[in-house]
Amino acid sequence: MLAALVFGPFYGLFSNTLQPLLTISAIMSVITGSVGALNQTRIKRLLAYSAIGHMGFILLGLALGTFSSLHASIVYFVLYIIMTLNSFAFVMSVTRDVDRRTDFISQLSGLSRSQPVLAITFALCLLSLAGIPPLAGFFSKFLVLFQAVANG
């Protein structure tokens, strides 16, 4: 549906007006999300700033205006949804205990000894969100950036 609108009747409007606006918005979103997440101590705020940065990557793929870049954005979006659902499921499972309320990242320090499977799953999910090479998040970011380089 989005491809039909972007590449159909609104293509002239997109290439002249919306493409520079989307490109600037994408770059500012990636910068804002990355810089904002650097100094966070709360888990939910870290994931919120991460979401801002990831939406910038999706906007970057949309701003390029080609079918292959739109495909890269869709792949990125699907993988991002899976990783985010996993992250928020972890946060909800850890913060629901009233006795051991965990809002800060530093409160997760002993989780690998008490619940190792949960800790490994969350670590892999965060590493994938960060774009570490052998994980799916790296390949989706690589696909979007490859399309950006290929389209100049």
pLDDT tens digits, 32-74 = 999 999 988 888 889 999 999 999 999 998 888 888 888 899 9
pLDDT tens by residue, 91-111:
888 766 645 667 788 888 888
How far, in Å, are 1, 9, 42, 130 from residue 49 at the CA level?
28, 34, 11, 12
The answer to whether the CB of 90 falls within 8 A of the CB of 126 is no
Look up the pTM and report it: 0.82
Cross-strand partners of 53: none
pLDDT tens by residue, 65-95:
888 888 899 999 999 999 999 998 888 887 6
